[in-house]
Amino acid sequence: MTQLPEPAIEPTPVSPCIGICLMDPATRMCRGCLRTVEEIAAWYDATAAEKRAIIARLALRRANAAP
C-alpha cells in the first residue's frame, strides 16, 4: 500500500493588531492596524490564505498612506 504525502499545513499569520484600537469614523478603518471593521470581524474565522490576503491589503494601504 502506497502512502500519500501528508498535506502541507499552512502556518496561520499572526494578527496585525498592534493594540491601538481606534476606529476612524470617516474610513471605517482601525487607526492602529488599518483593518476595516469587516476584516477585524472576519479575522478569527478566516483561513490562513484569507488572513494573508488581508495582510497584503494592509501593506497596500500603508504604502498608499505614506507621504
User: Is position 15 within any domain?
Assistant: no
Domain total in the chain: 1
Task: Give the mean pLDDT of 4-33.
Answer: 88
Q: Is 49 helix (H, G, I), strand (E, B) or coil?
A: helix
| One-letter amino acid for residue 35 of the chain | R
pLDDT category of residue 13 using cuts at 50, 70 and 90:
very high
Query: How much is the pLDDT for 50?
Result: 96
Q: Is residue 21 part of a domain?
A: no
Cβ 49 vs Cβ 24: under 8 Å: no
Instruction: List, for residues 23-61, the tens digit of each pLDDT value.
Output: 999 999 999 999 999 999 999 999 999 999 999 999 999
- pLDDT at position 5 is 72
Range of the domain at 59: 38-67
